[in-house]
């Protein structure tokens, strides 16, 4: 469980995996121009010309606005900039930070 206000990259070494890794596949012969990871209602992380897996960390400012239960949606944009949304590919819980 993640504590809101924490940085997910705290105490990480160079070889540690990212907090969030999103894997996807694209049909052969197709390209993916952009991927957007949407966490809850407030966090949108954009990646141009992404390569699977997409790895990312969350800052203290980002974890502060998370909810108790957080669903992760993935938006992929093809070579013609058409979007396909894959809803709730993952879910995680958080709790309030220590005062």
Indicate which CATH number applies to the domain containing 65.
2.60.40
The verdict on residue 30 lying in a domain is: yes
Does pTM surpass 0.95? no
The verdict on residue 54 lying in a domain is: yes
Number of domains in the chain: 1
The verdict on residue 88 lying in a domain is: yes
Torsional sign, CA 41, 46, 83, 55: negative
* pLDDT tens sequence across 77-93: 999 999 999 999 999 99
Range of the domain at 59: 2-7+17-95
In this prediction, residue 98 has a pLDDT band, given cuts at 50, 70 and 90, of confident
94, 76 Cβ separation under 8 angstroms = no
Residue 70 has pLDDT above 70, yes or no: yes
The verdict on residue 12 lying in a domain is: no
């Amino acid at each position: 469980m993640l504590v809101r206000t924490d940085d997910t990259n705290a105490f990480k070494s160079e070889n540690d995996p990212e907090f969030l890794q999103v894997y996807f596949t694209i049909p052969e012969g197709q390209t993916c121009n952009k991927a957007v990871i949407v966490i809850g209602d407030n966090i949108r992380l954009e990646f141009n010309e992404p390569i699977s897996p997409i790895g990312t960390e969350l800052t203290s400012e980002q974890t502060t606005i998370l909810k108790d239960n957080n669903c992760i949606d993935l938006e992929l944009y093809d070579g013609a900039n058409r979007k396909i949304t894959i809803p709730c590919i993952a879910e995680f819980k958080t709790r309030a930070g220590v005062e």
